Amino acid sequence: MEAIFGGILSLALAQALQPFTALPPAQDGQHIPSLDIDNKNVTFEAQRGGHVSGAAGRIQYVQVAQGALAIYDKRSGALLRPPLALSTLFYAAAPSRALQTCAHLHQGPVSMLYDHLAERWMFAYHASQAPYLCLLVSAGANAAGRYHAHAIALHGADGDPALAMWRDAILLTFSIRTGGTRICSMNASAMAGAQPKLRCSELAASGVTAAAMAPNAAIKTGTPALLLALDFAAAGRGSALSLWRYDHANNRIAGLVKIPVAPFIAACTDIDAGICMPQPHAGALLPAHANRLAPRIIYDGRSLLLNHSVLLAHGQIGLRWYEIRDALGAPQVYQQGTQGTDGDNRWMGSIGIDKMGNIALGYAVASAATAATIRYTGRLHSDPPGRMQGEQTVVNGSGVQSTRVGLSQPAGMLALDPTDGCTFWYTQQYIQSSSASAWQSRVVSFKFRQCE
């Protein structure tokens, strides 16, 4: 897909504040598309919390689109189970008012993960107009099997929860009504059976995201979790990342560390509203989600990978990505780059790293000339610092969304296959046919030839 321009800043101001421009791509052809799941039958409506995510487990690939669970065979891409609303899984649980709330009330975007250590799936969403976290934990690696259903009191939440897996804890972050971010942890060894207990702390900063452990990460038990956010020195402008370390065992957050990065400008001038991404013809402006880091931050024990949308010197929107080293000691930027050198815009990025240190980045692309499309790129660990290789197109869009409703959360998810540490699985939205709010989704897997 392609990112979209919506800033009103003059070119001179953009050039002055955005000196770190995208580098030419490195040599292409180092990655191998291996499976393309054309699941355009999974169509969802944006005004109902349009959001898509997915991950590979030991035996299946699971995608969640518009709150519906779809299960695919990893080898053939065959749909093993028609899409099933996650809320229906609460009907089978022991009846309680809280569980009935999760079953009946409208849900927001679903956060999901595959716990490769315990071989289980987790799905979480916030029940609308009710103070409950609705949590589903599978009894094993089979996503079509039995689930433990939990409805956990979640008072003060003002945003959709985001799950992240750590070595010995499951992390949960969400914004709160009084401002700031609440960070909670659940004991990873006590997720089945009895209802998990949340231990929570709060930060005054907004847009804080917990890093997730990569499947190949060598992280010791008790290692503090990593929390990150963009550091805006002025409205929409910044030159640093904020990092905190969360001692989840003792529920304590260590002091703030600021990591200097190349200056950036958020993709929209109104970063909170963030609706500035154009589409062809009479398409409505789309949200850029530029006021925070992209939801997936990955840590593999050595490198911390993250990205966000920025305004580029020539007016389009691109993706700034970072590789941070020594995150648990004296964190510093090992390399950084900006993806996007043409007239298209790139946003809703999702980044990952394989066991060899090769990096992949998937994203959406759109502009006044390009309908919402899905693309990805990547780089070998031996490529010149800060450079990605050429882009690969998963599917070109051919329609537009005609209204501004929905898409309140970033979509798309890149996940590393835990069985080989090499194969990336990526799902994202695109628009096949013009409508008021309907999007389609696609799944693709690929790997670098140099990863074995």
Q: What is the pLDDT of residue 12?
A: 22
Select the highest-mean-pLDDT range: 7-21, 25-39, 43-57, 163-177: 163-177
Domain for residue 6, yes or no? no
**Reduced DSSP (H G I as helix, E B as strand, rest coil) percent helix, strand, coil of the chain, to 5:** 5, 45, 50
Express each pLDDT in 309-355 by its tens digit. 999 988 899 999 999 999 999 999 999 999 987 889 999 999 999 99
Domain for residue 143, yes or no? yes
Q: Got the DSSP string for 106-170?
A: -B-PPEEEEETTTTEEEEEEEBTTSSEEEEEEESSS-TTS-EEEEEEE-TTB-S--EEEE-SSEE
Q: What is the pLDDT of residue 6?
A: 24
Is residue 230 within 8 A of residue 239, CB to CB? The reply is no
Express each pLDDT in 372-425 by its tens digit. 999 999 999 999 999 999 999 999 999 998 876 655 566 899 999 999 999 999
Domain for residue 2, yes or no? no
pLDDT over 90 percentage in the chain: 58
Structure tokens at 228: 């990150």
Map tokens 């949200």 to a residue. Answer: 287
Domain for residue 22, yes or no? yes
Q: What is the pLDDT of residue 191?
A: 80
Is residue 46 within 8 A of residue 400, CB to CB? The reply is no
What is the domain range of residue 349?
11-448
Element (H, E) at 258: strand 257-265
CA–CA distances in Å: residue 355 to residues 115, 359, 376, 378:
17, 10, 19, 14
Tell me how far apart the alpha carbons of residues 410 and 50 are, in angstroms, rounded to a whole number. 9
Number of domains the chain contains: 1
Answer yes or no: is pLDDT of 33 > 60: yes
- Confidence grade of residue 70 (pLDDT, cut at 50, 70, 90): very high
Q: What is the pLDDT of residue 10?
A: 22
More confident residue, 127 or 123: 123
The sign of the CA dihedral 263, 375, 82, 137 is negative
Domain for residue 355, yes or no? yes
Express each pLDDT in 425-444 by its tens digit. 999 999 888 887 778 889 99
Q: What is the pLDDT of residue 26?
A: 42
Backbone angles phi, psi at 102, to 5 degrees: -65, -30
Which 8-state DSSP code applies to residue 384?
P
Domain for residue 180, yes or no? yes
Domain for residue 4, yes or no? no
Q: Is the pTM of this model over 0.95?
A: no
Q: What is the pLDDT of residue 210?
A: 98
Select the highest-mean-pLDDT range: 1-10, 142-151, 273-282: 142-151
Mean pLDDT rounded to a whole number for the chain: 85
CATH of the domain at 417: 2.130.10.10
Backbone angles phi, psi at 301, to 5 degrees: 95, -20
Domain for residue 72, yes or no? yes
Q: What is the pLDDT of residue 405?
A: 60
**What residues contact residue 250 under an 8 Å CB cut-off, 6+ apart?**
none
Structure tokens at 385: 């610092």
Map tokens 């530029």 to a residue. Answer: 290
